[in-house]
Amino acid sequence: MRYNRLKPIGCGILTAFLFFSVFSRGSFPVYAAPATTEEAFSDAEERKSLPIQSNQIENWPAGPAIGAQSAILMDANTGVILYAKNVDERLYPASTTKLMTCILAAENSTLNEMVTFSHDAVFSIERGGSNIGIDENEAMPMEECLYGILVASANEVANAVAEHIAGSMDAFAEKMNEKATELGCKNTHFVNAHGLYDDNHYTSAYDLALIARDFFQNELLSKIGNTSSHHFEATDEQPDDFIERNKHRLITGEIPYDGIKGGKTGYTDEARQTLVTCAEQNGMKLICVVMKEESPEQFYDTVKLFDYGFTNFSVVNVAENETNYSIQNSNFFNTSSDVFGNSNPILSLNQDSYLIMPKTTVFNELDSEISYNTDEENEVAVINYYYHGAYVGTATVDLVDEKSATYDFTENAPEEEATDKKEPNVIIVNIKIILIAVLAVAALLIAFFIIRSIIDHHNFLYNRRTIKKRRKGLKKRKDGPHFPSSNFNDYNF
């Protein structure tokens, strides 16, 4: 049955209960679901007074007070935290769990694999939960399943994908926890692929941001996660034709915001509203996580945090500003591969390393520490930067690529034209070596001519002595009776 497309015959009676904790829930407190809407918004108003961790950093831009129990704003590329509020508190993620489900699906399957829906996948979810009404024994390609999970937040699709990837939903949950540990999560434990309430299914804003960082590194997942609506077409394996609309108002444009890259909504009575969103502006790609808020404030909290981040922070290139770790004058780390024979360093700061810094801060106000503990190929050291103890980014010291550089002097050439031009064939000539070779050849030639001159001079002296002797002999014969005068004329003095 397709519960989300069936209208109830009569009006359902909504009953709300206030649950009180009678036992400890692991290592984090039990929160009761609010009994009324008024109580829910009263709780949200009280949460605005909770301390904001990032505001306690000296000279750090003051972040906004929001009604969420926990929230974080993180740069997707560097991991720099711009805003932090109770970021390590364990809370219920609801359907934002599905970001991890899709990460594992993308890593362990192909888009055209057919996913068949078992009885358990369809009927193990509670009635009324998010679904697209797929029936038992129907099937969809994995790509359509990803749209079902991210656009429609379909719980039965998450279950079917879990079984398809790991063989069972429990085995898939184990994979989720393994992946969370791999990503650096410290306060996360999953027991299902969809995020419906379970006492032992929890995460934190910080951990959820780490999961989102990995999610938004995948271009396909980012594209699907930024889809406002999707048309599910009928097939032989799935006979219904229908359209599902995303509930994320920043993705649909209902609440307009520039640079949205995708996200995921989530809600249960225990979790309240949870929201993960990614946006990119001014060279920064930021991830915002809001947990335990009331609708529609989760969207407006996200807008406030994005505005805070893009307004108060900027990207700063390390190589263009760093002077403490300059190695240009070190003869020990040099190589003579320059086109003119000059010595160039074999180590350099990575030209693409950058920091996320408050706009009111200058580079020389930062503290830094260098570590040589790196396993990355061609990396020699890692430099971490801090502002009053807050991490703002990392730069690496790399081995210089020995490939010859080519220089384009048309700085203002249009980018599309530059991509169409073929790089010229450049021949690198070492002038010093050529000069040495020329001088060596010249020296050999000079030596040759000197030796030749000496030999010629010696022969000249020898011939001169010989001629003198002959002249004396001729002079003696001249006085004799039979001297042939014609022979005398044969000598040219």
Annotated binding site for substrate: 264
197, exposed or middle or buried, with CB in 10 Å at 0-12, 13-18, 19+? Answer: middle
Query: Which one, of 108, 104, 102, 68, lies nearest residue 85 by Cα?
Result: 68
24 belongs to the catalytic site: no
What number of other Cβ atoms are within 10 A of residue 251's Cβ? 25
Active-site residue, 469 included: no
Known binding residues: 264
**Contacts of 485 by beta carbon, 8 Å cutoff, 6+ apart:** none
Rounded Cα gap, residues 405 and 407, in angstroms: 7
- Torsional class of 282: left (φ above 0), alpha (ψ -120 to 50), beta (otherwise): left
Single-letter code of the amino acid located at 97: T
Dist CA 270 CA 273 (whole Å) = 9
What is the residue whose two structure tokens read 């799935």? Answer: 238
Of 70, 153, 204, 353, catalytic: 153
Q: How far apart are the first and last CA of the chain?
A: 131
What is the residue type of 369? E
In whole angstroms, what is the distance from residue 278 CA to residue 219 CA? 13
**Looking at the chain, how many residues does it have?**
493
Per the annotation, the verdict on 153 as an active-site residue is yes
Annotated catalytic residue: which of 85, 98, 247, 285? 98
Is the Cβ–Cβ distance between 137 and 131 less than 8 Å?
Answer: no
Identified catalytic residue from 54, 70, 85, 95 = 95
70: β partners: 291
Q: How many CA atoms lie within 13 A of 35 on its CB side?
A: 4
Residues with a catalytic annotation lie at 95, 98, 153
